[in-house]
Amino acid sequence: MYLPFNKEINKSILSDTCPSIKKLKSNSRASCRSVFFCYHIFMTKFKKGAVITVNDKMQSGYRYTLVCEPGQDFAPEFKPELTPRQMLEMGVFEGHYMTDCRAEFPPEWFEKAKMNPDKADISQNYFKIKSRQNLQIWQEKGWIIGPDIRGWFQWYCRYWLGRRIEDIDKIQISRWKNFKRHKMQILKNCPPRALQCRPRQRQALLQWAYNPIF
C-alpha cells in the first residue's frame, strides 16, 4: 500500500478525523489500512460540493460548502502570490496560528509547516521576527469579519479551499490589494533581493500571501 506522504505525519494529522488510529501500532497492517482510509476521506472531503464542518478551540459547529474546486476560480482581481501551504512551509504567525484546526484543511498543508503547538515562537517565522498584532487588537479595530474569527489568513484558507461569501470576499480582497503598498515601499527603499532590508514588512507581506523575496 502506497501512501503519498509520511505515515507518521498522517497519523498525527488525521487522528482528529479518525481518533481510533491513535491506538494502533505504527507498523501494524491495521494502522496502514486505517491511515489510508482516513487519507481517502480527506482527499474526497476537499472537492466542489463538499460541506466542511469546523470544530476547533475557537469555533464549533460552523459549516460551509465548497462551491469551487480548491485553488480555482478566484476573483479576477485576486492574484495571491503564495498558497496557504507555501505560507505555512515558509513560516508565518510565529508557528502558532492553526495548530488546533488542522482537521479543517488538507493534511499536505501541514507536512512541512513550521509550527509550534505550545506557544508563539518567532523562530518559526521566515524572517525570525515578529510581525503581527494580537487577535484582541484585530477584534477591537473591527478587522475580524464574518465567520473567520482568526482573521484574514483564515478567510484566505477557506477561500482557497472553495468557499465563497460574496460580500465578505470583496472586503477581504480589497484589504489584500491595499496591503501591496508595503511591497512598493520595500521596492522603493531596498536594493534588489536585500532580504535583510525591512524584514518586518517582508514578514507581513508573507502573511498576506505576497512573496517577500524580491
Tens digit of pLDDT per residue, the chain (214 long)?
223 334 444 444 455 545 544 554 555 555 455 555 455 455 568 999 999 999 999 999 999 999 999 999 999 999 999 999 999 999 999 999 889 999 999 999 999 999 999 999 999 999 999 887 777 887 788 879 999 999 999 999 999 999 999 999 999 999 999 999 999 999 999 999 999 999 999 999 999 999 999 9
Per the structure, the complete domain to which residue 197 belongs is given by: 69-206
36 inside domain: no
12 inside domain: no
Q: Write down the pTM of the prediction.
A: 0.81
Domain count, the chain: 1
Give pairs for 147-152: CB < 8 Å, separation 24+. 147/59, 147/62, 147/64, 148/172, 149/58, 149/59, 150/58, 150/97, 150/98, 152/176, 152/208
124 inside domain: yes
26 inside domain: no
Cell numbers representing residue 203 in the block: 514578514
Where do we find the cell 506522504?
5
pLDDT value of residue 61: 95
86 inside domain: yes
- Residue burial 101-135, b: 16+ Cβ < 10 Å; e: rest: bbbbbbbbbbbebbbeeeeeeeebbbbeeebbeee
75 inside domain: yes
